[in-house]
Chains A and B, each alone.
Chain A
């Protein structure tokens, strides 16, 4: 054991850590996990019901289910420090998932400021939703004045409606074409969204994949309700059994789902009720590490993959994955090296948009990039440090 190893092993003060949980406590933990009991089926009953609670002199209106697991958690804000002091909406700050608005503008989930930014045709970034304060207020008003709390995935309907996975609020927020924001559904920890045929909204949340039809009927699509080897929540795919725990989703025009499972890291295809692996027929050969909501469908139906683990952009052809030429990135000053995509989107002309949160790789800078169909790359926005 060398000095560095010894010093690192001795760095933590055990007296400041809690006692390890007992085996029984671990068991209880698995039993109370949300997706094991498929609670979201009950959510439909709760959504849109208004309950007036009168207690003494207190009057409160509570929307939706009253499960503490699903309630917004404004108390967490105290850990997050002060709202950003620099002008919000002008620079990237931990950018994540991307989406294309119905007018062709690029939408960026700017997680560092709890906002969705819109990149206008002239290249400037403006606020699409979120006032920069972490919170849940603002339904019924302008989206730009409302609070969001860790918005992640987005989905855009053809009429311009934008759905936002407001993850820390355990809600799907919806911004109308006129710019007003409301709560569309309450689900547990949503991270990724996609719109499929007949405007069915697919939500990746703690329970797996939920669908919400145009009449707002919520149903659990995946994982299947049957257990595998006695464990509900596991799936059996091509002979491999593992926990179904997706981070990203996209839907083809024909209704096929592509899902990025987080652990094990594997890209899955769900078509006609059958799940298969993409890029291989075993967990080892199909190993693919995709960022949260790092999947998109190109206009020609090609699936674009933000290969977070491979520092790459990939495309799915049939059941195989191949890298997309991103050598053009090296033409951008100070961007040479590992570009780790945090989000991907594809424009109507086939232009690929991607960003990186700068968390790792050689750049350590937050950047938003466009790659032309001919492979030429353009820097669209950054964190102001490049």
Chain B
């Protein structure tokens, strides 16, 4: 699983980093928050802050990890501010921009507990290493490994149940 090694970013331009990372940050935040508007705004804010401090951020071991931390924090604040967090995560009041042919997977992701969803998205979608995921989430690296293990099992169970339910319906 790739993280961004130091050598790939020191001295690189913000524009290169932005072009390669923005889409992934937005996708990850959409999957975590379930809200496209919040995700786009938080990703843009994180990138704007990175631009403002690029000289320093580019020297970090994981500029993207820093951006995810900021983006998640901005999204958390936005959701809390709008009191949407509970409603979105429990009721999906807003339709997220997910592909219509992948709604089963989205439902499985959406029903993961928050910590598991964050860990899965940061690791598998954002390509952050477990160490960087731990840093972003503010937990120990071992906790991330255990969380990912539980989440994978839960996703497999959810998707398996969906398939079984569909087959039972056909019969």
Interface residues of A (CB under 8 A from B): 4-5, 7-14, 16-18, 20-21, 23, 25-27, 29-30, 76, 79-81, 93-94, 96, 111-112, 114, 134, 149-150, 152, 167-168, 189, 191, 229, 231, 234, 241, 243, 245, 262-265, 287, 289, 292, 308-311, 357, 359-361, 364
Contacts and interface: CB of A to CB of B under 8 A. Distances in A.
Given A20-B22, A79-B93, A7 B81 contact: no
A20 B19 CA distance: 9
Nearest to A112: B86
Given A96-B80, A134-B83, 10 more contacts: A13-B98, A27-B48, A27-B51, A79-B84, A168-B81, A229-B56, A245-B73, A263-B69, A310-B139, A360-B113
Contacts of B26: 12, 17, 20
Interface string B120-136: 11001100000000000
Nearest to B83: A150
Contacts of A8: 31, 105, 109, 120-121, 124-125
Interface string B78-95: 001111111101010110
A76 B52 contact: no
Interface of B: 14-15, 18, 22-23, 26-27, 30-31, 36, 40, 44-45, 47-49, 51-53, 56, 69-70, 73, 77, 80-87, 89, 91, 93-94, 97-100, 102, 105-106, 109, 113-115, 120-121, 124-125, 137-139, 152, 155
B138 A308 contact: yes
Contacts of B97: 12-14, 16-17
A173 to B, nearest CB: 16
10 contacts: A7-B105, A9-B27, A11-B31, A25-B44, A79-B93, A111-B80, A150-B81, A150-B83, A245-B73, A359-B85
Contact of B138 (A29, A168, A287): A287
Contacts of A94: 83, 85-86
A289 B69 CA distance: 11
Most central of A10, A14, A17 by chain B CB within 10 Å: A17
A81 B91 contact: yes
A311 B98 CA distance: 32
Contacts of A231: 52-53
B98 to A, nearest CB: 5
A29 B36 contact: no
A26 B80 contact: no
Nearest to A309: B138
A229 to B, nearest CB: 8
Contacts of A309: 137-139
Nearest 4 A/B pairs, CB to CB:
A309-B138, A16-B97, A289-B138, A360-B115
A359 B115 CA distance: 8
A111 B51 contact: no
Contacts of B83: 80, 94, 111-112, 114, 134, 149-150, 168
Given A13-B100, A114-B83, A23 B73 contact: no
A184 B19 CA distance: 45
A12 B27 contact: yes
A26 B86 CA distance: 30
A113 to B, nearest CB: 9
B84 A80 contact: yes
B70 A263 contact: yes
A9 B124 contact: yes
A80 B87 CA distance: 7
A17 B51 contact: no
A193 to B, nearest CB: 16
